[in-house]
């Protein structure tokens, strides 16, 4: 890589030189970017991450809008193009109004009590998750076998706290939600009084479900979630749930993540009035369909989930909303078209080299840990050396031949068909070995992931672009950006959740008791650093809920820096544009998280997002790195300084 190319890598325009690095490093490194990129009202948060996603979206738009009309029926191009065009047809959508829902709403209306479980099972097939959620995933203790899971669900606001807490922002969101439920019922043809009554029934059910739901922190503990039960025992224990209609065939065992929630559902199915259950199912159905109907439904959905919850002021243009549907629901079909046009094969090779370098660095760090015993180190190194690495795109693509997109049917009918296809695909995995070649993100997604059950790290094609990855930039810029992303995903294998899985993805305790205690003590110390940060008003960050991501950020930084110091640039001290290699590494990392964000979105993310806010991903993380203080001459008395005894180093 060219260490002398000043056009690439760190951009001085991103800096805010009115602030010193020792005062607020995030502001110093990103303040110029924030000023140059004021928050567009169609976003609640917009950062360099989102810029890259916008770039990917423009590329996908270019692909889809150039596919043309009247394509051969049954081809991938026809399905993707027609689904997009259905979403673009505002005249037709507004003329149809609620009509696409009428038959299904009438079906719910006409249901007898004995039909309720059939309706719930039908909706669980991709349409919505009334009362609970379901999934097919690898067995946590046998990573080669798929298992059926049930978990708490049924909450359209997504988190229990929105129903139970009474601070000003939560009450505001909850009131907006009640108005939203009433509005959907009115749009579906209810009179005002009837809509009010129906909304009351929905809130009663969702609030009762929220009361028994696990907290966000509790759901991080897999040992509490792994409750495998025989179907015969489930039938005995939860007699009001008709297990035979639940879309689960040839299964004798089910993992129930939160038995308390399922017990509550079982009780509700017996004690709730028919009208209450019908109102709840109808709302869940209309809510699921609302973004695929006329403008008044779409506006109601936006006013609730985007404006009230996130602080967005303006809806995205129709083309973005329409594009998002095939881009996600037919994701690998679009992905196939995307990589053909936009992913250079040499990026894959360069990325593989970076990954190999990071693996070596993490291996060295594990071998040199002072707090971990040799026995546990051996197990950790075995796990690291067993990582599967996926870069760019899958070797085999999803088969969409069973999907039909019919221009004569409504937009919602087509969307519903794709959702049901996806749900059927998931259920078809039961009884089969886990597909280790499967990807859980599409190539056009700007993100990356670690999957504990297969011990794999994955980097889709779309994230392998500047400012994350630029083959023409200096090593400091690349290791500080994509290098930390790689190290971050690797460290997820050793965070508070990932550490519970072994090298083949089974939930096995490979730690000595003493090492586990030392890890927990270090993790708690790290969590306390984040929980001390105020995010807005008097609300603190939640260091326990964000623990996994915080550990991964710290590990990613340390591992990427260790690997960077092995490069020619890392070994030297040559200035580029006035910055040392270490300074460029830190600035490149900070720019990954440059963003502007609304206060509402800050408060929402603090409730529901396991990632820390960008400012804390930079400032709190870097304040544990001894080389960060050296790079910028930060010393005692500076706000960014943290004493050596208060710093945390886990991996």
pLDDT tens digits for range 288-339: 999 999 999 999 999 999 999 999 999 999 999 999 999 999 999 999 999 9
CA nearest neighbour of 178 among 203, 155, 154: 203
pLDDT higher than threshold 70 for residue 358: yes
pLDDT tens digits for range 450-500: 999 999 999 999 999 888 898 889 999 999 999 999 999 999 999 999 999
Return the pLDDT at 346: 85
CA nearest neighbour of 500 among 482, 531, 523: 523
Q: Please, which pLDDT band fits residue 381 given cuts at 50, 70 and 90?
A: very high
Return the pLDDT at 2: 35
pLDDT tens digits for range 258-285: 999 999 999 999 999 999 999 999 999 9
Q: Are 548 and 498 in contact (CB under 8 A)?
A: yes
| Helix, coil or strand: residue 419 | helix
pLDDT higher than threshold 80 for residue 6: no
CA nearest neighbour of 526 among 421, 648, 370: 648
Return the pLDDT at 68: 79
| Helix, coil or strand: residue 449 | strand
CA nearest neighbour of 254 among 100, 135, 348: 135
> Residue 402 corresponds to which tokens in the numbers above?
């069973």
* 408 CA to centre of own chain: 34
Return the pLDDT at 7: 47
Return the pLDDT at 471: 84
DSSP 8-state assignment for residue 115: G
SS (H, E, C) 317-366: CHHHHHHHHHHHHCHHHHHHHHHHHHCCHHHHHHHHHHHHHHHHHHHHHH
Report if pTM > 0.75.
Answer: yes
Domains and CATH numbers, the chain: 25-61+331-646 (3.40.390.10), 98-292 (1.10.1380.10)
Mean pLDDT score across all residues of the chain: 95
Return the pLDDT at 3: 39
pLDDT tens digits for range 387-419: 999 999 999 999 999 999 999 999 999 999 999
Q: ∠ CA 455-458-463 to the nearest 5 degrees? A: 160
pLDDT tens digits for range 31-81: 999 999 999 999 999 999 899 999 999 999 999 999 977 899 999 999 999
| Helix, coil or strand: residue 214 | coil
| 173 bridge partner residues | none
pLDDT tens digits for range 415-430: 999 999 999 999 999 9
DSSP 8-state assignment for residue 228: E
């Amino acid at each position: 890589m060219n260490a002398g190319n000043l056009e690439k890598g760190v951009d001085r325009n991103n800096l805010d030189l009115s602030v010193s690095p020792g005062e607020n490093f995030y502001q110093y490194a990103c303040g110029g970017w924030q000023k140059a990129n004021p928050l567009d009202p169609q976003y609640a948060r917009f950062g360099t991450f989102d810029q890259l996603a916008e770039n990917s979206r423009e590329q996908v738009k270019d692909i889809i809008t150039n596919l043309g009309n009247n394509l051969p029926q049954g081809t991938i191009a026809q399905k993707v193009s027609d689904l997009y065009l259905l979403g673009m047809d505002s005249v037709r959508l507004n003329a149809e109004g609620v009509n696409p829902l009428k038959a299904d709403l009438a079906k719910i209306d006409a249901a007898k009590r004995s039909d309720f479980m059939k309706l719930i099972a039908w909706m669980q097939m991709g349409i919505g998750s009334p009362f609970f959620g379901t999934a097919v995933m690898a067995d946590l203790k046998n990573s080669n076998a798929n298992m059926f899971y049930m978990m708490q669900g049924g909450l359209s606001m997504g988190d229990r706290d929105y129903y139970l807490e009474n601070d000003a922002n939560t009450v505001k969101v909850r009131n907006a939600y009640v108005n939203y439920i009433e509005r959907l019922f009115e749009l579906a043809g209810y009179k005002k009084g009837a809509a009010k009554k129906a909304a009351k029934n929905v809130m009663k059910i969702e609030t009762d479900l929220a009361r028994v739901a696990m907290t966000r922190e509790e759901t991080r503990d897999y040992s509490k979630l792994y409750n495998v039960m025989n179907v015969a025992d489930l039938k005995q224990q939860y007699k009001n749930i008709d297990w035979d209609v639940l879309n689960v065939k040839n299964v004798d065992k089910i993992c129930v993540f939160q038995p308390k929630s399922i017990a509550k559902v079982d009780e509700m199915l017996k004690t709730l009035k028919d009208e209450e259950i019908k109102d709840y199912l109808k709302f869940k159905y209309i809510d699921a369909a609302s973004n695929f109907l006329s403008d008044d439904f779409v506006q109601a959905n936006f006013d609730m989930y985007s404006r009230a919850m996130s602080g967005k002021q303006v809806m995205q243009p129709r083309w973005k909303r329409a594009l998002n549907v095939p881009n996600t629901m037919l994701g690998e079909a679009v992905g196939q078209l995307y990589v053909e046009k936009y992913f250079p094969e040499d990026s894959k090779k360069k990325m593989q080299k970076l990954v190999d370098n990071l693996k070596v660095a993490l291996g060295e760090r594990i071998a040199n840990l002072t707090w971990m015993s040799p026995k546990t180190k051996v197990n950790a190194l075995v796990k690291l050396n067993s990582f599967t690495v996926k870069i760019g795109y899958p070797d085999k693509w999803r088969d969409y031949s069973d999907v039909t997109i019919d221009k004569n049917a409504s937009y919602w009918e087509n969307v519903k068909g794709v959702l049901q296809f996806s749900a059927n695909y998931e259920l078809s995995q039961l009884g089969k070995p886990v597909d280790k070649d499967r990807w859980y993100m599409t190539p056009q997604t700007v993100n990356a992931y670690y999957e504990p059950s297969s011990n794999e790290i994955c980097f889709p094609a779309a994230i392998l672009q500047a400012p994350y990855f630029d083959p023409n930039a200096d090593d400091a810029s690349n290791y500080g950006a994509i290098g930390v992303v790689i190290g971050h995903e690797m460290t997820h294998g050793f965070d508070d959740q990932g550490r519970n899985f072994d090298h083949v993805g089974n939930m096995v305790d490979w730690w000595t008791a003493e090492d586990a205690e030392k890890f927990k003590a270090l993790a708690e110390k790290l969590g306390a650093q984040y929980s001390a940060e105020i995010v807005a008003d008097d609300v603190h960050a939640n260091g326990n809920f964000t623990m996994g991501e915080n550990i991964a950020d710290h590990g990613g930084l340390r591992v990427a820096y260790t690997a960077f110091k092995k490069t020619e640039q890392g070994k030297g001290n040559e200035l580029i544009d006035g910055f040392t290699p270490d300074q460029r590494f830190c600035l490149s990392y900070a720019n990954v998280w440059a963003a502007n964000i609304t206060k509402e979105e800050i408060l929402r993310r603090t409730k529901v997002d396991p990632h820390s806010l960008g400012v804390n991903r930079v400032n709190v993380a870097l304040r544990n790195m001894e080389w960060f203080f050296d790079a910028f001459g930060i010393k005692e008395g500076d706000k960014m300084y943290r004493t050596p005894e208060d710093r945390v180093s886990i991996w």
